[in-house]
């Protein structure tokens, strides 16, 4: 194809021929099927796997095959047109969004897959925003054009309206629904047709009945690109059209800057549209050389590492798997070269590790390689303690890369071994589980002594518990799910004075602090600026050196200690701003420890004196039901304290959007199936916290 000829004129640096990309989408949009077809067409596998048969390469975990969904991000490698493609198939369910977050941190580009019937769905929007945060360039693939009700134009409109980007459609479907047989390549004005039973396309003239429509759409594409790209605009003004080479170069630039998104279409299940998609990956998505050098810190100084095999080695761990043969650590190499047997530094933990083996990953299968260089995504064996988010680097040139931040868990269950002899094994299994998935947390309830496992949702915890049962052959009991509440300040207090004096022989302790508390909303502060993190801001207005700077830092640390348990029910406190307004010291007895303790006790008193509000997690729920079931579903949502925000009709079905407390969604899937005779579906997306009504609030 012409795209390939243009690419061969680029510089011959081997890294130009590497693409690190992910597949992103809502659940059931066809991500895994797209991945399977890519592997088949590139020769990485010799038989097409099917999700419904449980024979896919990337959904290799028994739970994924049982449930028919992707749960764990899986990396595979393949080759296309002289390029090596490292591909990560990511989960589409909202409960596993942390897997997507860790994957996006190490990717250079992505394919966003959309259902041609549903268009942009809630989780599609969420993963798109995640990619925005990481600055990952994307191309879009509108899948399932062979389905009844498939509409490319409607899907493109939803991309424009919901994702607030400029879709640049480069293909026109040939046929509709069951009659979908191919696409018109609008850049080359050629038809690509897949005959039944054939895996590759035949290139033909554009059908007579589509010729005028193809010209119209090519004109729209030229105009859209000319509005965004100077070179294309110059050519368009001179010739009233944009040539194919200029258009290709402009689409590549717009994709990599995020100003536009190239849109292709097809049916992965029928193997139609995958080859042009691979050509687009090579043509438009960046190589490791096209993205900015990775930035890290060393002694608070920012440093850059180029994608150069000769540079000092630096890599980021994004996934850890415990297997029967050992600990498998997946990492992205950003710079330098690593060889089997090398010693590397875990920069965050300041611990040296030895690389035993380096593996090229094919989901559940692996092949040994001797070296890995900048731009590679590989797995290594031999690391004993490096966790997801750890930076590995050469000991002679240490560097700490920014790790992906794990999301806060919102649902918890109590777990216990049914046999007392299995308690220690359960502790070990939970520790290994948290090591593999940082979005899971384990703690011991101080009141009941129970072990509490917390995660991103009901399904997330079900999968985690089932993994313990299967992998460790443990019989465990699980309590009823509970949501993770928070507490916040509705009205603060000013001038709370606390004196910490302790004298029990020897050196004493003395600290005097005066604190103000107020809600962040009242200050207009988001809690993410200087001196704060999400939900908490600390500042000092003390003048005249009445509290030395080292003690001010201790006061902030003590305040953070106090925020771990609020006065309403012992839940973490968020959304508060604390100001140290005054204080006093003692020449002999003051210390950082004394001021930290004083701040902890002072803030606890201040929170008890403040007007506090209990917050509960809420989620946006999108329910798709037949028209005749709308009334019952709306009534059920109202009973669950849901607030309906929208309803649209679509081909005999209604799509209802509502905000519902997460605590009210336990068991909703079964209830919805019952009310709609199995025809209703729903998806959820966490949207934050909202005040809980008094009956939900624990007694103060």
- What pLDDT score was predicted for residue 1? 38
Residue-level length of the chain: 700
Cβ contact 88:103 at 8 Å: yes
Highest mean pLDDT pick, 32-46, 210-224, 373-387: 210-224
Distance in angstroms (rounded) separating the CA atoms of residues 74 and 134: 19
Q: What is the pLDDT of residues 479-524, one digit of tens each?
A: 888 888 899 999 999 999 999 998 766 678 899 999 999 998 754 4
Strand residue runs (E) in 342-459: 343-346, 351-354, 357-362, 365-369, 371-373, 377-381, 391-393, 400-401, 411-417, 441-444, 451-455
DSSP string, 212-267: HHHHHHHHHHHHHHHHH-HHHHHHHHHHSS--HHHHHHHHHHHHHHTS-EEEEE-B
Query: Could you tell me which residue, 127 or 217, shows the higher pLDDT?
Result: 217
Question: Whole-prediction pTM value?
Answer: 0.78
- What pLDDT score was predicted for residue 653? 80
The number of angstroms, rounded, from the C-alpha of 306 to the middle of its chain's C-alpha atoms is 25
Q: What is the pLDDT of residues 131-182, one digit of tens each?
A: 998 999 999 999 999 998 899 999 999 999 989 999 999 999 999 988 999 9
The number of angstroms, rounded, from the C-alpha of 479 to the middle of its chain's C-alpha atoms is 28
Instruction: Provide the 3-class DSSP secondary structure of residue 444.
Output: strand
- What pLDDT score was predicted for residue 363? 60
- What pLDDT score was predicted for residue 53? 58
DSSP, res 664: G
Instruction: Provide the 3-class DSSP secondary structure of residue 453.
Output: strand
Task: Give the residue-averaged pLDDT of 325-344.
Answer: 90
Comparing CA positions, the residue from 423, 469, 383, 362 lying closest to residue 38 is: 362
Cβ contact 403:389 at 8 Å: yes
Q: What is the pLDDT of residues 48-97, one digit of tens each?
A: 766 655 566 666 667 767 777 777 778 888 899 999 999 988 887 777 88
Name 321's bridge partners: 328
Maximum Cα interatomic distance, the chain, rounded to a whole number of Å: 99
Comparing CA positions, the residue from 90, 25, 121, 94 lying closest to residue 619 is: 94
Domains of the chain: 2-284 (3.40.50.300), 294-401 (2.40.30.10), 411-484 (3.30.70.870), 487-609 (3.30.230.10), 616-691 (3.30.70.240)
Name the token pair of 368: 């040994």
């Amino acid at each position: 194809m012409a795209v390939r000829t243009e690419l061969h004129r680029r510089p011959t640096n081997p890294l130009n021929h590497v693409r690190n990309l992910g597949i992103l989408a809502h659940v059931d949009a066809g991500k895994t099927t797209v991945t399977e077809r890519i592997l088949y067409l590139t020769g990485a596998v010799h038989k097409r796997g099917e999700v419904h048969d449980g024979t896919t390469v990337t959904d290799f975990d028994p739970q994924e095959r049982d449930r028919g969904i992707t749960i764990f991000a899986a990396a595979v490698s393949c080759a296309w047109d002289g390029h090596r493609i490292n591909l990560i198939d990511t989960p589409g369910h909202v409960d596993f969004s942390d897997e997507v977050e860790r994957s996006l941190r190490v990717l250079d580009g992505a394919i966003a897959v959309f259902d041609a019937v549903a268009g942009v769905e809630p989780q599609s929007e969420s993963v798109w925003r995640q990619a925005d945060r990481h600055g990952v360039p994307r191309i879009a693939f509108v899948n399932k054009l062979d389905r009844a009700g498939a509409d490319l134009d409607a899907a493109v409109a939803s991309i424009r309206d919901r994702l607030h980007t400029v879709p640049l459609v480069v293909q026109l479907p040939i046929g509709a629904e069951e009659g979908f047989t191919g696409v018109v390549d609008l850049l080359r004005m050629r038809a690509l047709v897949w005959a039944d039973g054939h895996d590759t396309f035949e290139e033909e003239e554009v059908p007579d009945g589509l010729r005028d429509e193809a010209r119209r759409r090519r004109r729209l594409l030229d105009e859209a690109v000319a509005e965004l790209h100077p070179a294309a605009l110059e050519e368009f003004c001179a010739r009233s059209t944009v040539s194919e080479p200029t258009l290709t170069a402009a689409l590549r630039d717009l994709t990599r800057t995020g100003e536009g998104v190239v849109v292709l279409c097809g049916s992965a299940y029928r193997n139609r549209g995958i080859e042009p998609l691979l050509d687009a990956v090579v043509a438009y998505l960046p190589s490791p050389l096209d993205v900015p050098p990775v930035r890290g810190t060393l002694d608070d100084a920012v440093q850059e590492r180029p994608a150069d095999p000769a540079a000092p080695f630096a890599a980021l761990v994004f996934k850890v798997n415990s297997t029967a043969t050992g600990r498998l650590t997946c990492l992205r190499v950003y710079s330098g070269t690593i060889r089997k047997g090398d010693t590397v530094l875990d920069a965050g933990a300041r611990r040296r590790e030895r690389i035993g083996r380096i593996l090229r990953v094919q989901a559940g299968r692996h092949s040994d390689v001797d070296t890995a260089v900048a731009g590679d995504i590989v797995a290594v064996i031999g690391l004993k303690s490096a966790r997801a988010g750890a930076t590995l680097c050469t000991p002679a040139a240490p560097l700490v890369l920014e790790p992906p931040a794990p999301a806060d868990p919102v649902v918890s269950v109590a777990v216990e071994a049914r046999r007392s002899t299995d308690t220690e094994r359960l502790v070990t299994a939970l520790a290994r589980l948290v090591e593999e998935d940082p979005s899971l947390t384990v703690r011991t309830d101080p009141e009941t002594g129970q072990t509490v496992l917390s995660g991103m949702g009901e399904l997330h915890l079900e999968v985690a518990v089932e993994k313990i049962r299967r992998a460790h052959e443990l019989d465990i009991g699980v309590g009823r799910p509970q949501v993770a509440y928070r507490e916040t300040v509705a009205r603060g207090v000013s001038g709370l004075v606390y004196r910490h004096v302790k004298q029990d022989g020897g050196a004493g302790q003395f600290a005097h602090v005066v604190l103000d508390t107020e809600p962040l909303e009242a200050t207009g502060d988001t809690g993410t600026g200087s001196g704060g993190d999400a939900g908490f801001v600390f500042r000092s207005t003390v003048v005249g050196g009445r509290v030395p700077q080292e003690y001010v830092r201790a006061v902030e640390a003590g305040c953070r200690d106090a925020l771990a348990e609020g006065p309403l029910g012992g839940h973490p406190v968020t959304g508060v701003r604390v100001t140290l307004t005054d204080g006093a010291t003692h020449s002999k007895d003051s210390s950082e420890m004394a001021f930290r303790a004083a701040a902890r006790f002072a803030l606890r008193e201040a929170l008890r004196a403040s007007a506090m509000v209990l917050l509960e997690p809420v989620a946006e729920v999108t329910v798709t039901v037949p028209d005749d079931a709308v009334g019952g579903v709306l009534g059920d949502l109202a009973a669950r304290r849901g607030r309906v925000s929208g309803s649209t009709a679509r081909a005999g079905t209604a799509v209802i959007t509502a905000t519902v407390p997460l605590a009210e969604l336990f068991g909703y899937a079964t209830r919805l199936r019952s009310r709609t005779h199995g025809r209703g579906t729903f998806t959820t997306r966490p949207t934050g916290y909202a005040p809980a009504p008094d009956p939900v609030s624990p007694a103060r």
